[in-house]
Amino acid sequence: MKISSKISIKYGLITAGLLIAYFLILRLMGLHYNPWLRLSNGLFMAFGIYMVIKQYKLILGDDFTYTNGFKTGLMTGFLATFVFALFMAIYMFHLDVEFMNTLLKEWFKDYSHGGGILIFIILIEGLSSSTILTLTFMQIFKISKNVPQKK
């Protein structure tokens, strides 16, 4: 298995674990219905993507390229998103159906959308934030050809 895949899986699962733990902590405190607290998910995603690109650059050293760093960050974010979406699907459809019904009732006037729309929203939020965060962090970690840098 390539280094990129190994490190992406490791940090992707760590990030997903942080997202799941954060949701469960909110659940214990009764705050899981507040949609504004989902903004903190971006902090956990940012942490995971930043750390994986940093670690990958340390491992590769001079062989680090923008493309490989970008691919590693995306794989990490996408894996974390899919694992978290899978957890949320199991939670909403099997463990706490009332949570899904409450969200659907509050967010949509037309209640006939079904719970799949909530999973779709989680996927779109996670995939888009992963892409944007990876692009952002690669500006920090890329090797510039325009500005002399210390290696």
Residues 115-145: tens digit of each pLDDT:
777 888 889 999 999 999 999 999 888 877 7
pLDDT at res. 1: 54
Q: How far apart are CA 110 and CA 29, in angstroms?
A: 29
Q: With the CA atoms of 71, 72, 75 and 81 taken in that order, what torsion angle do they form, in degrees rounded to the nearest 10?
A: -120
Share of the chain above pLDDT 90, in %: 47
Instruction: Judge contact between 84 and 19, C-beta under 8 A.
Output: yes
| Rounded Cα–Cα distance for residues 42 and 134 (Å) | 12
Per residue in 2-29, pLDDT (tens digit) is: 887 899 999 999 999 999 999 999 889 8
Domain locations along the chain: 3-141
Q: What is the mean pLDDT of the chain?
A: 85
Q: Which of 93, 72, 92, 100 is nearest to 15 (CA)?
A: 72
147 pLDDT above the threshold of 70? no
